[in-house]
Amino acid sequence: MNDGTIPARSEVRLRDALHARPATHLVRLAQRFDATIRLTLRGGSANAEEVLELLALGGAIGDGLEITAEGEDADAAIVAVCELVARRFDADLVPFLGVTVVEGIAIGWAVHWRRPIARQRPPSTPEAERVRMDAALVRAQAGIAALVRALPRAEAQLFLPELEILKDLGARVRDRISAGESGESAVSAETAAETTDLLIDARARLLDALGDTDGDALGTLLRASDGERVLVTQELTPSMVATLPAHVVGIIAVADGASPSGADCSSGARTAGYASHAALLARGREIPLTFVGAHVVEAITDHDNLVLDTTEKRTRLWIAPDDARVRDAHARKASRAALRVPSPPATRPR
C-alpha cells in the first residue's frame, strides 16, 4: 500500500475538453483529498486545485493526460480523478460538500428564500423613530407570543427567552435612537454580536416590522409551492424552521464564517452550530439540515432538483442529479425509514 511517500501516477485520455466547467469539477474533487495532485499535458503542468492553472493547460478531446499525486490519499485521489475524466467530468461525481447538522436524506425542488429588502425611509426625528420602534417591538413580541401558542410545548419553550431578548433590546435601541440613530441602525448595532440565533430571530422580526414588510413572506412563498421542497437560504432563524409546512423536507443554509469561495464551511460557526435553536427544531422534526459555504447557495436556483444527503459527517449535495442518482437516493431513504423505530412526529403547520 502506498504510504504517501511514493507519488502515485496514471495516464488517461481526455474525453471532454478541459474548459471552465470540467476544470471547476476537478478543483472540487481535488480539494477533498489529503494529497497534492498535478496534471500534465502538452508539456504544461497544473495543480489540480488551481482552476486558472488547469485552464491554461488547454486540454482538448483526445489529449493524453498524466496524473500524479503525493500524500496520504494519493492512491484514492488518482482513482477518483481517472474516473472523473473517464466519465467526461460528470457533475454527479463531485457533489457540493457541507457540514451535517441534522442527519437524513431529502429529495425535492429548491425554494430559494431571500429576506425582503425594506424600503428606504427619509431621515426622521428621534421622537418619530421611538414611535416606530415601539410599534415594531409590539409587533415582534406579538409574533413570538402567537408562535408560542401555536407550537407543541417542547418547541414553544425554545422561544420563551426571545421575549426577554426583545425586552432588553428595546431599552438598548431606544438609547441609540435618542442619540440620533435610526431604528434600523440601532437594531443592527445591538444585534451585531450574534451570541444566539434567537438574537438573529429577534433582529429579523424587528427589521421586518420597521420596514413594514410581510413577516410571513416565507410562509406565503412555501404554501404556494407544491411537491416536496428543500429550503435554500442565506440566513436561517428558529422562527423559519418552526413555521415550515410539511412538504419542506430539507434545509440548506449558509453558516457564519463560511467562505464564499471555499469548498466547505466552518463547523465551529457560532450561531449555525449543532445545538442552535434552529437545529434543535429541525432535529425534532427530522428535517435534514446542512450548513454550507455561501457559494453553494449561490449555485442553486429556484426549482432546481436537489438530492441532499446528510447521513455522514460531510454532507453531500447534488444539484440537478441524473435519474440514477435520484433513484438511489429514494432507495436509501426508504431503507433508513424501514430501520428507524417509529416515533410520533412533531406537529407542523400545513
Just list the catalytic residues: 19
What one-letter code names the amino acid at 184?
Answer: E
Angstrom distance (rounded) from CA 202 to CA 224: 26
For the CA atoms of 318, 251, 31, 258, the dihedral, rounded to the nearest 10 degrees, stands at 150
CB 177 within 8 A of CB 126: yes
Strand partners, 243: none
CB 84 within 8 A of CB 28: no
Angstrom distance (rounded) from CA 232 to CA 3: 41
Handedness of CA 278, 279, 283, 287 (dihedral sign): positive
Phi, psi at residue 283, to the nearest 5°? -65, -45
CB atoms within 10 A of CB 71: 18
Phi, psi at residue 96, to the nearest 5°? -70, 150
Q: Which three cell numbers stand for residue 93?
A: 461525481
Closest by alpha carbon to 186, among 246, 133, 262, 123?
133
